Amino acid sequence: MTSLHTPLRALAAALASLGLVAAAFAPETRDALDEQSRAWREATKELRLYDRLETRLILRATLHTDEYVRAQDALLGLLQSTSPWEPRGDSPEWQVVFAAYVPPPSRADDFDFEPGATWTFQLLADGQPLGPISLASYRERSDLQILLYPQLNRWSRVYDARFDRFGEPSTLTMVVSGALGQGELRWEMR
């Protein structure tokens, strides 16, 4: 998994590109970044699918748990200290941000909820499928996204999937399947 021990210079460059140079050096920002990084590690899972010695898919997904959202909001609140930042609070939906990398020459980085895509996926709460709400896909990413999701890189496509949220499940499982393989990412909820 991607290292979260970002050198201060890289962090300062990312914050500077956002116009937040001074925030990179404030102790409370470093503490908030450490907390967000810890929450990110707990909320992020990795799936690798191989066919013999060939990599078919590398997928890293971050589930927006309540703890992760609180840590992210605290960091964003400090970074956006020049303007008011409203914490999001509990969300009525589950959000999964994931980066998918399919090695060249294949361009099979097509994900969808429906059959017919190269890769389909669904989110299960205690084994029961959750209704999909939306799926956004993009190659371009902002400096803030790169700061918040270290799994993003120049070779991956980014997806933002949202699902209905009901009750308090003990386990959430993202099932990814396609002609090239199948796998699961599992989050144990507290």
Condensed to tens digits (0 to 9), the pLDDT of residues 40-69 reads 889 999 999 888 888 788 888 999 888 888
The verdict on residue 1 lying in a domain is no
The verdict on residue 75 lying in a domain is yes
Residue type, 14: A
The verdict on residue 2 lying in a domain is no
Largest Cα span, the chain: 53
Domain that holds residue 29: 8-188
Helix (H, G, I), strand (E, B) or coil at 122: strand
Task: Please state the domain count of the chain.
Answer: 1
The verdict on residue 161 lying in a domain is yes
The verdict on residue 155 lying in a domain is yes
The helix, strand and coil proportions of the chain, stated in percent and rounded to the nearest 5, come to 25, 35, 35
What tens digit of pLDDT does each residue of 126-172 get? 999 999 999 988 767 677 677 667 777 777 788 889 999 988 999 99
* Band of residue 11 on the pLDDT scale cut at 50, 70, 90: low
Cα three-residue angle 123-109-127, rounded to 5 degrees: 15
Phi and psi at 9, nearest 5°, equal -60, -45
In the chain, DSSP finds a helix count (H) and a strand count (E) of 4, 10
Task: For residue 155, list its beta bridge partners.
Answer: none
pLDDT of 138: 75
What tens digit of pLDDT does each residue of 84-125 get? 445 565 678 899 988 887 766 566 567 888 888 888 899 999
What CA–CA distance (Å, rounded) separates 68 from 40? 6
Q: What residues contact 4, with CB distance under 8 A and at least 6 apart?
A: 37, 40, 41, 150
The verdict on residue 128 lying in a domain is yes
The verdict on residue 145 lying in a domain is yes
Omega of the bond prior to 105 within 30 degrees of 0, cis? yes
CB 64 within 8 A of CB 45: no
Encoding tokens for residue 164?
Answer: 């209905």
* Band of residue 8 on the pLDDT scale cut at 50, 70, 90: very low
CB 58 within 8 A of CB 176: no
* Exposed / middle / buried, residue 85 (Cβ in 10 Å: 0-12, 13-18, 19+): middle
